[in-house]
């Protein structure tokens, strides 16, 4: 037994040496001679070294993985461009908040909430342009806003009455204010005649080819309480926009024609001129009806005489074609009615009507004009070549400026297409509405209800849409759906039963 022990030890020692060789060729254990006895310690070092290597590898992989994920995430977020879309996302969330949904439900209710009416008293003259609305438009005066919306609703009543019986004469005009009563219906006659065969081709649309059509009305306030609130008795003349084929035909006769009255003086280089088609609708008579001019002047004379001694005012309001005729009517009243009360025009989406001399003539007669204009409305930019007195006021007072003004004046005097807008302007913008699409179509931009919606929400040119606007949105949602933002056409509106069965898209505001 004693002779076997050394041999066995030699054998084990040889094996350890082989392991040592193998260890020296390994990349995991450092080259270090192994003693005869501490085998256990060497194994522990081996395991510890192996563990350290594995931890280092895992750490590097984790760091690399985190870096890859970070790079991937940053690339994804960069592609999303959150800095750009976050405000839109936040706005969408805010719009669908319970508070705003409750407000939207109120705006969509059938019972429209109206702003309280203030006592105007002596303020009415300023609101009707005694100072050309200086300081009242930007920011917009609260009382003036209510007055503008009220006049727009008078025009809407004219649209509704006409569409109730386009081929005849409306028996009833549903006025927005019960304090007024209609005293006269107004008819406009076209000088254009269409061939008779057109009626045979489209008998159902015979009203479209009528030469004489109902175009508006005269109403007077007869409520003593309302008269006291307003500080005077008011006569309102409301005129609708284009509806018949012959009226459209008159719109496309944009050459300027001289006004018949008064006769020009020798010193006047040019005469006041107005668009041919507008003038035709205002002055033409037929075998069935007198001209709009004669009917209107006769009625205004009667009312002025009837209420002689009272404080009176005349407000002429119209939309589109009605806005153009309103200027002709105001000029005629100021010219032909003796002791005429103050005359003011409140127009919506009106085109240009005459030349600069016509604008000067209205101003010289004391007629005050306030035009509400949507920046996206093309109708307000036609017809003819635009010229305006304000364009010349900012020119330099040097020889260059004088020569330019001289050239412009010469062009205007000899150019049959030189038109000029009249009076003061309140400019609204479709893009300011949180409910309407900024790229709304042409019909929406010219729509009367869209105008009233924008006026009701207008604070100032540098301010957003007012949050406490009270005008109902039902007409916008019901009559022209495609121009209302899709944000208001989904689940929230369906819950309130304001979406029809035609789908989720809501069409644009009405033309009525």
Say which of 128, 315, 332, 377 is annotated catalytic: 377
Neighbour count for residue 422 (Cβ, 10 Å)? 26
Please state, in angstroms and rounded to a whole number, the distance separating the CA atoms of residues 118 and 234. Answer: 16
CB of 330 within 8 A of CB of 392? Answer: no
Q: Write out the DSSP string of 80-127.
A: HTHHHHHHHHHHHHHHTSHHHHHHHHHHTSSS---PPPPP-GGGHHHH
CB contact set of 82 (below 8 Å; sequence gap of 6+): none
| Cis-peptide, bond into residue 470, ω within 30° of zero | no
What are the counts of helices (DSSP H) followed by strands (DSSP E) for the chain?
19, 11
276 Cα distance to chain centroid: 30
Q: What SS3 string covers 25-65? A: HCCCCCCCCCCCCCHHHHHHHHHHHHHHHHHHHHHHHHHHH
- DSSP strands (E only) in 320-435: 343-348, 368-374, 385-386, 418-419, 424-428
Tokens 């644009």 belong to 508
C-alpha–C-alpha distance, residues 267 and 54, integer Å: 106
Cis peptide bond N-terminal to 262, omega within 30: yes
Half-sphere exposure of 310 (CA within 13 A, CB side): 21
- Residue 496 annotated among the catalytic residues of the structure: no
CA distance 215 to 150: 19
- Please give the structure tokens belonging to residue 100: 């705003």
Q: Which helix (H) or strand (E) holds 315?
A: strand 312-319
- Of the CA atoms within 13 Å of residue 458, those in its CB half-sphere come to 29
- C-alpha dihedral sign at 73, 76, 81, 86: negative
Distances (CA, A) of 423 to 84, 265, 279: 41, 24, 19
Per the residue annotation, which of 191, 446, 447, 510 is the catalytic one?
446
377 catalytically annotated: yes
What is the phi/psi pair of residue 135, to 5°? 80, 0
Chain centre to alpha carbon of residue 247 = 26
Contacts of 349 (CB under 8 A, 6+ apart): 241, 319, 320, 323, 372, 373, 374, 377, 379, 380, 446, 448, 451
Tokens of 442: 């042409």
**Could you list the active site residues?**
320, 377, 446
């Amino acid at each position: 037994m004693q002779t076997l022990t050394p041999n066995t030890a030699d054998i084990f020692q040889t094996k350890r040496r082989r392991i040592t060789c193998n260890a020296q060729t390994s990349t995991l254990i450092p080259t270090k001679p192994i003693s005869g006895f501490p085998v256990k310690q060497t194994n522990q070092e081996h395991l510890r070294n192996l563990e350290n290597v594995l931890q280092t590898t895992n750490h590097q992989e984790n760091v690399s993985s985190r870096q890859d994920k970070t790079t991937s995430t940053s690339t994804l977020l960069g592609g999303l461009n959150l800095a750009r879309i976050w405000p839109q996302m936040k706005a969408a969330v805010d719009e669908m908040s319970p508070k705003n949904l409750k407000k939207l439900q109120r705006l969509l209710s059938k019972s429209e909430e109206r702003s309280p009416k203030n006592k105007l008293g002596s303020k009415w003259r300023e609101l009707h342009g005694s100072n050309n609305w200086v300081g009242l438009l930007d920011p917009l005066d609260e009382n003036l806003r209510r007055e503008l919306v009220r006049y727009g609703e008078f025009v809407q009543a004219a649209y509704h009455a006409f569409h109730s019986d386009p081929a005849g004469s409306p028996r009833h005009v549903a006025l927005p204010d019960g304090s007024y009563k209609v005293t006269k219906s107004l008819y406009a006659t076209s000088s254009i005649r269409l061939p008779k065969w057109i009626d045979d081709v489209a008998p159902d649309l015979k009203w479209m080819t009528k030469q004489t059509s109902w175009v508006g009305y005269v109403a007077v306030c007869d409520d003593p309480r309302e008269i006291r609130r307003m500080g005077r008795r008011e006569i309102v003349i409301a005129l609708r926009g284009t509806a018949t084929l012959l009226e459209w035909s008159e719109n496309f006769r944009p050459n300027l024609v001289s006004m018949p009255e008064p006769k020009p003086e020798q010193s006047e280089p040019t005469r006041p001129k107005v668009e041919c088609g507008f003038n035709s609708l205002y002055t033409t008579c037929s075998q069935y009806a007198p001209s709009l001019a004669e009917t209107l002047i006769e009625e205004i004379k009667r009312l002025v005489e009837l209420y002689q001694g009272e404080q009176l005012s005349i407000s002429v309001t119209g939309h589109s074609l009605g806005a153009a005729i309103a200027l002709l009517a105001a000029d005629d009243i100021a010219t032909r009615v003796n002791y005429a009360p103050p005359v003011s025009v409140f127009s919506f989406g009106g085109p240009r009507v005459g030349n600069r001399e016509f604008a000067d003539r209205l101003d010289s007669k004391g007629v005050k004009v306030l035009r509400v204009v949507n920046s996206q409305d093309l109708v307000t930019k036609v017809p003819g070549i635009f010229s305006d007195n304000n364009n010349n006021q900012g020119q330099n007072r040097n020889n260059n400026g004088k020569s330019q003004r001289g050239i412009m004046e010469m062009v205007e005097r000899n150019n049959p297409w030189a038109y000029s807008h009249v009076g003061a302007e309140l400019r609204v913008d479709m893009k300011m509405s949180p409910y309407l699409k900024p790229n709304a179509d042409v019909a929406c931009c010219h729509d009367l209800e869209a105008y009233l919606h924008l006026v009701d929400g207008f604070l100032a040119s540098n301010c957003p849409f007012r949050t406490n606007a009270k005008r109902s949105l039902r007409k916008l949602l019901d009559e022209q759906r495609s121009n209302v933002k899709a944000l208001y056409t989904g689940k929230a509106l369906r819950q309130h039963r304001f979406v029809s069965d035609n789908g989720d898209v809501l069409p644009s505001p009405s033309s009525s």
